[in-house]
């Protein structure tokens, strides 16, 4: 996300330094060394106005006020389109003229010396190609007819054609019909935020409160998470839902974020649903031939293994900082995008508690068994009722199959083939006020396999309320307690052991 600095009291001067990595050669230095030129008396503006074939361009300078800018002492390079090139441009549209003009001017002197295939940052922050070919040079793929014409404060290259102003993804979103819902959501996330680090303390008021020479930044929470589509040097491919696609996706996703009152209720449900609609809309780079790609990873982090299917039948629009595709139906399945497996690793201490036992972390490295992420916990009983409880964050208001994965005792002793038995207690949100209930479950088959990992089915459960955790809502209400179901008699007989080895808890989405 591009930060726009706003200064109170004293205007904030912005300096943009572009560092280009290149060999330190004489040719490269001549791009910026004013002593390499015999400087004439005319400024850039005066030179342009002295050339009959640039009279239209000179008129544009006058209309937009850039005749004064190019008369100043700062150095500029101008790629000036000839009259024929500008014959179709609407001279009455000042906004268009200004955008087009700024697309042909850059700061400092850029000569053809050493140019091969460069992209030059223009005054409007767009990047335009300046390239060398066997037949000569081009700017924005338009031929340069006269190069390196010096002026007192810069250089002029005359071109046969002009580089049209090309919208970036942010601008395209704002100007394209049919994207109202997407535009309203993303644009609404921009806000002015106080920047304490760059603000200066200048005193205190009569109440002792600190007064700042304040700096504010414009930030956008969605772009900060997904990608800066409003800056020119970040390249993305965007899959933009039109209003029909937005409405369908919103209606389909909304029910998965049914939240209780203490977790934001309907207002937060709306926020989470809208973000979920767009979370997989951006991909890094320019994608023109998705059929030649094996997989694509969205900037949100989801991986899709059918890139061709995501863009099937869609037309692309090439933009200054990427490519846009507009779709009338979002191509993501729920399970590919947001309704995904939840796995809680037993060895993670956060959100884990235990009673009647001691917990030890063990590794499956070097054994015949492969625990998830190669670690599991040993639940060593100190009572007849050892138990461990796991917090399960980010459950949706949806149906899951719940499993607990056990590791056999054989992992440490090949001769120990003693199984264990387990029972469970699920804590979940049951009321709109956020209150929780408990469901006790003893599976029909609750005995572990002494020879292999056991993925024990606990229950199929339909959560009425979602439990989404973030920095503002930190409560994890959903928990699963795993406890020993081995009786004293079974323990004493040697047929079962109360010692449990737990790999992970898994919640698999039930797709209906």
Helix (H) or strand (E) holding 226: helix 221-226
CATH pick for 342-509 out of 3.30.1360.170, 1.10.10.10, 3.40.50.300, 2.60.120.260: 2.60.120.260
Q: Please identify, in words, the CATH class of the domain defined by 9-159.
A: mainly beta
322 neighbors 170 (Cβ within 8 angstroms): no
- Between CA 98 and CA 424 the distance in angstroms is 69
CATH 2.60.120.260 domain span(s) along the chain: 342-509
Q: Is the pTM of this model over 0.85?
A: no
Count, residues in the chain: 512
227: its two tokens: 């990608």
β-partners of residue 385 are: none
- Centre a 10 Å sphere on the Cβ of residue 437 and count the other Cβ atoms it contains: 10
CATH pick for 169-337 out of 2.60.40.10, 1.10.3720.10, 2.30.180.10, 2.40.50.140: 2.30.180.10
- Looking at 137-239, list the stretches that DSSP marks H as alpha helix, in order from N- to C-terminal side: 169-175, 180-188, 221-226
C-alpha distances in Å from residue 319, one per residue of 9, 278, 388 = 37, 19, 55
- Between CA 90 and CA 87 the distance in angstroms is 8
205 neighbors 292 (Cβ within 8 angstroms): no
Per-residue pLDDT of the chain (512 residues; tens, 9 = 90+): 544 444 333 333 333 333 333 333 344 444 444 444 455 899 999 999 999 999 999 999 999 999 999 999 999 999 999 999 999 899 899 999 999 999 999 999 999 998 888 899 999 999 999 999 999 999 999 999 999 999 999 999 999 999 999 999 999 999 999 999 999 999 999 986 655 665 566 666 766 676 655 555 678 999 999 999 999 989 999 999 999 999 999 999 999 999 999 999 999 999 999 999 999 999 999 999 999 999 999 999 999 999 999 999 999 999 999 999 999 999 999 999 999 999 999 999 999 999 999 999 999 999 999 999 999 999 999 999 999 999 999 999 999 999 999 999 999 999 999 999 999 999 999 999 999 999 999 999 999 999 999 999 999 999 999 999 999 999 999 999 999 999 999 999 999 999 999 999 999 999 98
- Between CA 119 and CA 139 the distance in angstroms is 9
- Between CA 462 and CA 509 the distance in angstroms is 10
CATH 2.30.180.10 domain span(s) along the chain: 9-159, 169-337
Nearest to 352 by CA among 482, 449, 235, 456: 482
The full DSSP string for 393-456 is: --B-SSEEEEEEEE--GGGT-TT-----BEEEEEEEE-STT--EEEEEE--SS-BPPTTS-EEE
């Amino acid at each position: 996300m591009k930060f726009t600095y706003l200064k109170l009291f004293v205007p904030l001067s912005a300096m943009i330094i572009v560092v280009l990595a290149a060999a330190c050669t004489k040719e490269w230095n001549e791009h910026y060394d004013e002593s390499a030129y015999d400087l004439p008396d005319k400024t850039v503006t005066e030179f342009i106005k002295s050339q009959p074939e640039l009279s239209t361009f000179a008129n544009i300078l006058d209309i937009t006020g850039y005749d004064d800018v190019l008369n100043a002492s700062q150095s500029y390079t101008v790629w000036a389109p000839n009259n024929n090139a500008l014959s179709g441009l609407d001279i009455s549209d000042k906004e268009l003229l200004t955008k087009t003009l700024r697309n042909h001017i850059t700061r400092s002197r850029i000569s053809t010396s050493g140019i091969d295939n460069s992209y030059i940052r223009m005054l409007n922050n767009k990047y335009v190609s300046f390239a060398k070919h066997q037949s000569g040079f081009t700017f924005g793929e338009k031929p340069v007819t006269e190069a390196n014409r010096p002026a007192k404060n810069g250089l002029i290259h005359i071109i046969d054609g002009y580089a049209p102003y090309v919208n970036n993804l942010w601008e395209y979103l704002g100007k394209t019909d049919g994207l109202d819902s997407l535009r309203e959501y993303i644009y609404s996330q921009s806000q002015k935020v106080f920047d304490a680090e760059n603000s200066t303390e200048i005193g205190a008021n009569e109440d002792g409160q600190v007064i700042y020479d304040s700096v504010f930044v414009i930030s956008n929470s969605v772009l900060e998470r997904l990608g800066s589509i409003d800056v020119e040097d970040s390249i993305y491919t965007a899959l933009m839902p039109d209003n029909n696609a937005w409405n369908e996706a919103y209606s389909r996703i909304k029910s998965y974020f049914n939240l209780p009152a203490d977790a934001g209720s309907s207002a937060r449900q709306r926020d989470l649903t809208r973000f979920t609609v767009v979370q997989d809309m951006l991909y890094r780079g320019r994608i023109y031939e998705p059929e030649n790609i094996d997989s694509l990873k969205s900037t949100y982090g989801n991986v899709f293994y059918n890139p061709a299917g995501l863009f099937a039948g869609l037309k692309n629009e090439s933009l200054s900082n990427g490519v846009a595709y507009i779709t009338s139906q979002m191509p993501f399945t729920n399970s590919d995008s947001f309704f995904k497996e939840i796995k809680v690793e037993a060895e993670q201490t956060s959100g884990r508690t235990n009673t009647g036992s001691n917990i030890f972390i063990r590794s499956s490295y070097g054994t015949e068994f492969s625990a998830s992420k190669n670690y599991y916990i040993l639940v060593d009983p100190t009572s007849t009722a050892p138990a461990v409880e796991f917090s399960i964050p980010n459950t949706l208001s949806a149906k899951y199959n719940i499993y607990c994965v056990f590791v056999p005792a054989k992992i440490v002793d090949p001769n120990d083939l003693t199984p264990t038995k387990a029972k469970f207690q699920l804590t979940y949100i049951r009321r709109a006020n956020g209150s929780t209930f408990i469901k006790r479950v003893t599976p029909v088959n609750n005995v572990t396999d002494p020879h292999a990992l056991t993925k024990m089915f606990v229950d199929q459960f339909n959560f009425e309320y979602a439990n989404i955790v973030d920095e503002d809502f930190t409560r994890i209400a959903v928990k699963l307690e795993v406890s020993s179901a081995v009786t004293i008699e079974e323990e004493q007989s040697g047929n079962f052991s109360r010692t449990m080895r737990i790999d992970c808890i898994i919640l698999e989405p039930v797709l209906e």
